[in-house]
Structure 1
């Protein structure tokens, strides 16, 4: 199980890296779609913090200021991939919310 979870984490890290390098050139709808795909993959793997962060990011991508929101979410994605507890999940989402306000 650990190996398959490591594989999912590596895949998500690659997707996030690709999004980070291309985010300034992507439309808000493209960012939304990519983050929603990341959300689905994280959800299937049980990576709840990453799923929550990707869900938030995909929603924020459709609002004004999406570039700032996407950057804030991507900055916390590595922490979300490593999170193991509900408390860590909440802390990551709180950190994003704090950066956006």
Structure 2
């Protein structure tokens, strides 16, 4: 993937994240999950494994009790995951998910 294509993908994903952040107080858990899953799909399509893992976590946790706190924490790590290098994707993904788990427990 070229740098321009990756830059464009990151911009589109940032727009989706911003929309979700703005609307989260008014969205039902299923819609939050659906939007997180859409972000996950875009991340997977563009090889952004750290973001894919984080969005997958968010999609599942949106349907659980205490979802607002989990989703807020996920959204706070989105930029970090979005900027993670595709070459160190597995390491970055695990580090971000570990930081999220520590924060929520």
TM-score (ref. length: structure 1): 0.97
Gaps of 5+ in 2: none
**Alpha-carbon shift at residue 47 of structure 1 (Å):** 0.2
Instruction: Kindly indicate whether residue 99 of structure 2 is the aligned counterpart of residue 95 of structure 1.
Output: yes
The aligned length equals 101
Q: Given the alignment of the two structures, is residue 19 of structure 1 paired with residue 20 of structure 2, yes or no? A: yes
Instruction: Note the C-alpha offset of 1:44.
Output: 0.5
Query: Offset of 1:100 from its aligned partner?
Result: 1.1
Structure 1 unpaired stretches of 5+: none
User: Cα RMSD over matched residues?
Assistant: 0.6
TM-score of the pair, normalised by structure 2:
0.94
Deviant stretches of 4+, over 4 Å: none
